[in-house]
Homo-oligomer: A and B are copies of this chain.
Amino acid sequence: MHTEQRARAHELLRSRSIDRALFAAPASVTWLTGFAPPIQTGANPFAGGPPLVWYESGEFTLIVMDWFSSQAVPVINYPGYTYESPIASADHLAAIVRSLVGRSRAGTLGVEARHLPAFLAPSDAVSIDGLLDPLRAVKTADEIETLRRCFALADAGHAAAREATRAGKREIDVWAVIQSAISRAAGQRVPLGNDCVVSRRENNIGGWPGDFELRPGDSLIVDLGARLNGYWSDSCAVYYASEPSDRQRATHNVVRQALEYAISLIKPGAVANEVDRKVRQFIADAGYPVYPHHTGHSVGVSPHEEPRLTPYNTLLLQPGMVVMLEPGSYIPGEIAVRLEDAVLVTADGAEVLTRHNKGLP
């Protein structure tokens, strides 16, 4: 489990002459080990710090409180919740890190300093922030299977959202139906992003669902990302509270064409910022406002990662990359359309991974 990830990481660390390392970024920990702690209610109040991964002599060890275990790697547990004595989990965790770091002075020690809490930071370490990130851009076969399941969950959410969207409902009412459908489909609680906003809002590009009520003539952006086993999906659709106006329909169709055009551009060797530029141009050429955000990005152990399809990014697409494509067009307070699919870069093109209805026709 996640052996390919650890092999890639080991090779990179060796090439950089990093002999020992302490990983603290949630994405790194999940990617290296498959360990994905619950996140819905914030940091665990009984843990001494975030889950960590220690790397030494080519081996990876997970350091977590005693509620948690791993099928993939050796684990060092420390006491978390206690009631017969005060909770001292931070002290236990600090002692473990001190002991691991201190048992050798040989070679270079790397730490993810952007996520490692200061009280655990060794004094003689070098930063390895972001070092693993590029390794995550090409997905393993197992990761692609996991992502398919994540996208299927988002699909289930969209089926429920399309059904639930109508005048008189609030954003949060639709969201509650989506969340219920997804958690029941998964058989467990599922962290769920991203946006659920009515077109009549002044900021109608994105945002969390509130008590804003759909009226006839409104549309609803439903941008869903569900996390399962530590991996995120993404997806976006637009549903209508009533029969759409000619203008809504025209905008929706242009964005749909832009999305289809974007999909057609995805293949090995395609350049991220060229795809970005061409899809923007497509919307502009059609005479519609161009979206003030990225054209796309990837997902995985984080909901937004490389490759980013953005004006500055000269990265080349490779087989095994998963790319979200999400062109849109917005007029504040009036029109808001964003449609998003996921594609897998294959040997000679792209396979669409999302199956959700994107609203209209």
Contacts and interface: CB of A to CB of B under 8 A. Distances in A.
Nearest to A176: B180
A192 B86 contact: no
A36 to B, nearest CB: 10
Contact of A49 (B114, B119, B193, B194): B114
A214 to B, nearest CB: 14
Contacts of A173: 184
B189 A208 contact: yes
A313 B84 CA distance: 9
Question: For chain A, which range describes its interface: under 10, 10 to 19, 20 to 34, or 35 or more residues?
Answer: 35 or more
A189 to B, nearest CB: 6
Interface of A is mostly: loop
B41 A193 contact: yes
A85 interface: yes
A260 interface: no
Q: How often does this chain occur in the complex, in copies? A: 2
Contact of A121 (B115, B118, B177, B193): B118
Contacts of A124: none
A77 interface: no
A289 interface: no
Interface stretch (A136-144, A304-312, A333-341, A349-357): A304-312
A217 interface: no
Contact of A187 (B111, B121, B211): B211
A311 B186 CA distance: 40
B45 A303 contact: yes
A78 interface: no
A42 B176 CA distance: 19
B302 A45 contact: yes
A26 interface: yes
A308 B194 CA distance: 36
Interface string A246-289: 00000000000000000000000000000000000000000000
Interface in A146-179: 170, 172-173, 175-177, 179
Interface of A: 26, 38-43, 45-46, 48-49, 83-86, 90, 111, 113-121, 127, 129, 170, 172-173, 175-177, 179-180, 183-184, 186-189, 191-194, 208-211, 225, 227, 292-294, 302-304, 308, 310-313
Given A41-B191, A176-B183, 13 more contacts: A41-B192, A41-B193, A41-B194, A41-B227, A83-B292, A83-B311, A86-B313, A111-B118, A118-B121, A177-B180, A188-B210, A188-B211, A189-B209
11 contacts: A39-B39, A83-B308, A83-B310, A86-B312, A118-B118, A118-B120, A118-B121, A119-B129, A172-B183, A172-B187, A189-B208
